[in-house]
């Protein structure tokens, strides 16, 4: 942390200078076309947030293989059609003035469910005979209401690692400058880490060190497919918020190992491993863990109710190095510009200057 740092100070990660520390949090739009490629919706949605002054646009969770999607409307980065669509999206974000980034994901036991607004907002399983697929997970323990997943074999694991390598290469070919691996919210990486979802007795299960092995291999696979001069972020829970689940002490140990394995910044987003996870609705609830993670020697960002302008200065740089803003930026693409409103003519796009 440098003296004089504010939420609007640039942050350089490897060779990528990010113009400020207020970033769009990844949020699934469930609006991909039938090939899993971005659509006009994505261009308009992400383009508006780029014009809205966030330093980095982190495109929603994008699957690294068809059977690792959450729904049939997820974006993917495993075919050439998808790469072409992402190339247009990443170029638009960059030309409008933000850093194009994409979150890569493997859904694990939360895979193959319906689109949220199709079933009154509840997550419902879509079985193979209705167009879904069989989910893979560390252990055959279902997420409430979803399909019982298949326990991943060694061959499945090797394939997932190859999927990650390919997706990292594709993200680079598409023009993204930053990638994030989704390792939180109860998806595959998180399921390997947590003792509640990983009951394996092979080399990928057991004590904390052993449960960390496959997640570390996932990070290494991405690093192999991603240029050394580009940053790799990792979204992790700060804790499971469930009795018997991962603690902050576990997670700071994981963060330190991930930092040593080539992760440049840990992005905190807690909970959602199972419906039993406590829901916390306090402002800055993830950012408050920031100092504990910084002590593990990593740069830290956090999402979670950074939704009032005054909270930005409370979070950066005191608690975290950057913030990710989610729902506030769904409600208002110009949220960041309004938060910075003291100097409208310097920060708003010049196309809009006559509004001031
Ligand atoms: C509609 C929606 C979709 C989301 N999709 C993702 C996602 O693709 N990947 C992810 O890591 N988090 C996802 N999240 C979580 C957000 O990125 C963010 O962490 C969360 O909303 C808390 O931040 P907020 O209080 O600023 O909204 C999603 C949240 C919402 C509301």
Nearest CA to ligand 1 atom 11: 26
Q: Domain of 148: which CATH number?
A: 3.20.20.70
Q: Which residue CA neighbors atom 4 of ligand 1 most closely?
A: 27
Which pLDDT tens digit goes with each residue over 223-278?
999 999 999 999 999 999 999 999 999 999 999 999 999 999 999 999 999 999 99
Structural domain includes residue 237: yes
Residue 273 inside a domain? The answer is yes
Model pLDDT, residue 57: 98
Identify whether 352 is a catalytic site residue: no
Stretches where the chain sits below pLDDT 70 are 1-3, 120-121, 342
For the chain, the domain total comes to 1
Ligand 1 atom closest to the CA of 182, numbered from 1: 11
Is 2 inside any structural domain? Answer: no
Q: Which two tokens stand for residue 326?
A: 């989610």
Q: What's the pLDDT score for residue 2? A: 53
Where helices occur in 201-266 by DSSP H, the ranges are 208-211, 213-225, 248-260
27, 45, 308, 332: residue to mutate for ligand 1 pocket, most atoms within 8 A of CB = 27
Task: Classify residue 3: in a domain, yes or no.
Answer: no
- Which residues does a 6 A CB cutoff place in the pocket of ligand 1? 25-28, 60-61, 103, 182, 185, 235, 269, 303-307, 325-328
pLDDT given for residue 121 in this prediction: 64
1 lies in some domain? no
Q: Is residue 99 helix, strand or coil? A: strand
pLDDT at 341: 76
Can you tell me which residue has the tokens 């390997």?
Answer: 192
Is residue 243, in this structure, part of any structural domain at all? yes
Per-residue pLDDT at 239: 97
Token duo for residue 225:
């497919």
Task: Name the closest-CA residue to atom 23, ligand 1.
Answer: 304
CA 230 to mean position of chain CA atoms: 16
Residue 6 domain-assigned? no
Residue 5 lies in a domain: no
User: Residue 345: exposed, middle, or buried by beta-carbon count in 10 A (0-12, 13-18, 19+)?
Assistant: exposed
Domain span at residue 18 reads 11-349
pLDDT at 137: 98
- Which of 28, 31, 36 is closest to 174 using CA atoms? 36
Q: Give me 182's structure tokens.
A: 């989704």
Q: Which alpha helices (H) appear in the chain, and where do they start and end?
A: 40-51, 80-96, 154-174, 188-193, 208-211, 213-225, 248-260, 290-294, 309-315, 327-331, 335-339, 344-347
């Amino acid at each position: 942390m440098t003296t004089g740092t504010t939420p609007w100070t640039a942050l350089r990660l490897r060779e990528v200078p990010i113009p400020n520390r207020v970033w769009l949090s990844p949020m699934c739009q469930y609006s991909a076309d039938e090939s899993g490629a971005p659509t006009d919706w994505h261009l308009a949605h992400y383009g508006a947030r780029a014009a809205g002054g966030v330093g980095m646009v982190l495109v929603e969770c994008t699957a690294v293989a068809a059977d690792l999607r959450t729904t049939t409307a997820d974006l993917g980065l495993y075919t050439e059609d998808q790469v072409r669509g992402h190339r247009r999206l990443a170029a638009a974000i960059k030309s409008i003035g933000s850093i194009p980034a994409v979150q890569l994901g493997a859904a694990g036991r939360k895979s193959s469910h319906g689109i949220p607004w199709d079933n009154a907002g509840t997550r419902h399983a879509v079985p193979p005979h209705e167009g879904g697929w069989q989910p893979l997970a560390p252990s055959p323990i279902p997420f409430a209401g979803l399909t019982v997943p298949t326990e991943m074999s060694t061959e499945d694991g090797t394939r997932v690692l190859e999927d990650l390598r390919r997706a990292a290469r594709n993200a680079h070919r598409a023009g993204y400058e930053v990638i994030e691996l989704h390792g939180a919210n109860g998806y595959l990486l998180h399921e390997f880490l947590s003792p509640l979802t990983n009951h394996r007795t092979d080399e990928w299960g057991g004590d904390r060190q052993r449960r960390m092995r496959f997640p570390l291999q996932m990070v290494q696979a991405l690093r192999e497919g991603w240029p050394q001069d580009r940053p790799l972020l990792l979204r992790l829970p700060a804790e499971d918020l469930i009795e018997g689940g991962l603690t902050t002490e576990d997670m700071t140990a994981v963060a330190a190992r991930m930092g040593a394995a080539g992760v440049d910044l840990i992005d905190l987003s807690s909970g959602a491993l199972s419906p039993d996870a406590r829901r916390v609705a306090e402002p800055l609830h993830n950012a408050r863990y920031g100092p504990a993670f910084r002590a593990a020697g990593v740069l830290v960002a956090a999402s979670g109710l950074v939704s009032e302008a005054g909270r930005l200065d409370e979070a950066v740089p005191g608690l975290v190095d950057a913030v990710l803003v989610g729902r506030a930026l769904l409600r208002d693409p110009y949220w960041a510009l309004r938060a910075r409103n003291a100097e409208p003519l310097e920060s708003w796009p010049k196309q809009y200057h006559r509004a001031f």
